[in-house]
Amino acid sequence: MSETDPSDPSAAPSRPVVRLRPKAEARAIRHGFPWVYADELVTDRRTQALTPGTIATLEDADRRAMATVTVNPKSKIIARVMDRDPGAAIDRDWIAARLAHALELRARLFEAPFYRLIHAEADGLPGVIIDRFGDTAVIQPNAAWSEAMIEDLTAALVAVTGVTTVVKNGSGRARGLEGLPEETVVLQGVVAGPIAVPMNGAIYMADVLGGQKTGLFFDQRPNHAFAARLARGARVLDVFSHVGGFALAALAGGAEAALAVDASAPALELAAEGAAAMGAAERFATRQGDAFATLEALAAEGERFDLVVCDPPAFAPNRQALEAGLRAYERIARLAAPLVAPGGYLVLCSCSHAADLVQFRAASTRGIGRGGRRAQLIHTGYAGPDHPMLPQLAESGYLKSLFFRLD
């Protein structure tokens, strides 16, 4: 492609220019906010004709260059800030520098290479998620630019980290919002089967090709560890367990027994494999079914547990779903609270960025009260440090975990 071809995602310095509307909040961009919404940008025919993922120079309404951005006319987030330098060249070397910066933090935090390596905007690669499983890395290219530059992204990832296998997980709601197709494919190397992931003394089995998201949720690592401290000698119920989540961490922490509940039979099979791999199969059981129905059934059976954890998917993935999502969180708390033995613990989690901490905590405490229990809030947990938060972007701090002790 020529230097002036607007469809070349790395074209610089001769590249398209996009401009903020006069009433757009240019100050927010200058102060680090990474997104430009469609109603904030001048969307003339030239801008609308840009190929999704095009790299452009962003100007304010007075035609002063502000930043290097990637543009997707098909998305409500029409521009994402790539670099605050308006003349930055977005190429393989630029990607490698961002990866190396992210890797330096993770290498300080973790002894073994199992972590989230790239957490999108917070790590300077907008819309990109990369989880590392030893010598295997899974990329979620959820922004058009990363799909267009997937070869450069893969090559830089291999060069910086030394991983030998790279998987592209092109699924999920975020790609749909960008107008991108769903596709999961091995870009480099071979995936022989589920990968054993050591974490908090437990062993999790990650299906990096067919599992949810990238195959494992690293974000709950510190909350798993805190729950494990409460689980010594306890009977544990882990609802929405996925591949073992809190249940396996609790077993590693000395739980007497753990029951994992999930709607997915394959996920529970992986959880059982993890329990067996860590020598805890005899203390581990699974129950497949709808979480709400299973909570009701356990109550009817007279079951009680010393530690109950509910870690559901996002009930409020956007503002339109907020009201219904908060009702769902309240219902979960109402159904779970009666299952906790006196003096036991209830852990309620939310990964909905649309529901902030205050709203989620209020819904949870209402549900506990409606479940006939009185609670102490003893701890509030968030995502681990391999999921850094961009302070200007509330969406990057999505995870909340509330730890209650029930009378």
For the chain, the average pLDDT equals 95
Residue 165 has a pLDDT of 98
Residue 2 has a pLDDT of 36
Q: Kindly state the percentage of the chain with pLDDT values over 90.
A: 90
Cβ proximity of 196 and 277 under 8 Å: yes
Query: Mean pLDDT lowest for which of 19-33, 58-72, 342-356?
Result: 19-33
Burial classification of residue 84, based on how many CB atoms lie within 10 Å of its CB (0-12 exposed, 13-18 middle, 19 or more buried): middle
Cα dihedral 204, 346, 304, 335, rounded to 10, equals -100
The pLDDT tens digits of the residues spanning 243-280 come to: 999 999 999 999 999 999 999 999 999 999 999 999 99
Please report the domains of the chain, with CATH numbers, ordered by start residue: 17-83 (2.30.130.10), 92-188 (3.30.750.80), 196-406 (3.40.50.150)
Tokens of 149: 């530059």
Annotation says 349 is catalytic:
no
Residue with tokens 């730890």: 403
Residue with tokens 């521009």: 79
pTM of the model: 0.93
The pLDDT tens digits of the residues spanning 96-121 come to: 999 999 999 999 999 999 999 999 99
Give the residue from 75, 234, 203 showing the smallest Cα distance to 145: 75
Tokens of 87: 């003349």
The pLDDT tens digits of the residues spanning 3-61 come to: 444 445 444 458 999 999 998 888 899 999 999 999 999 999 999 999 999 999 999 99
Residue 26 has a pLDDT of 86
At 396, the pLDDT band (50, 70, 90 cuts) reads: confident
| 1 pLDDT higher than 90 | no
CB under 8 Å to 333, separation ≥6 — which residues? 310, 346, 348, 363, 364, 365, 366, 367, 368, 370, 371
Residue with tokens 């996009």: 18
Residue 7 has a pLDDT of 45
Residue 218 has a pLDDT of 97
Choice among 199, 271, 278, 351 that is catalytic: 351
Which residues on neighbouring strands pair with residue 186, listed in sequence order?
Answer: 167
Query: Rg of the Cα trace of the chain?
Result: 23
Residue 211 has a pLDDT of 84
More confident residue, 171 or 303: 303
Overall average pLDDT of the 298-324 stretch: 96
The upper half-sphere exposure of residue 357, i.e. CA atoms within 13 Å in the direction of its Cβ, equals 12
Overall average pLDDT of the 367-392 stretch: 97
- Listed in sequence order, the DSSP H helices in 278-401 are 291-300, 322-336, 357-370
Report which DSSP code applies to 149.
T
Q: Which helix (H) or strand (E) holds 349?
A: strand 340-350
The pLDDT tens digits of the residues spanning 142-199 come to: 999 999 999 999 999 999 999 999 999 998 888 988 999 999 999 999 999 999 999 9
Q: Amino acid identity, residue 183?
A: E
Residue 3 has a pLDDT of 40
| 322 pLDDT higher than 90 | yes
Residue 213 has a pLDDT of 86
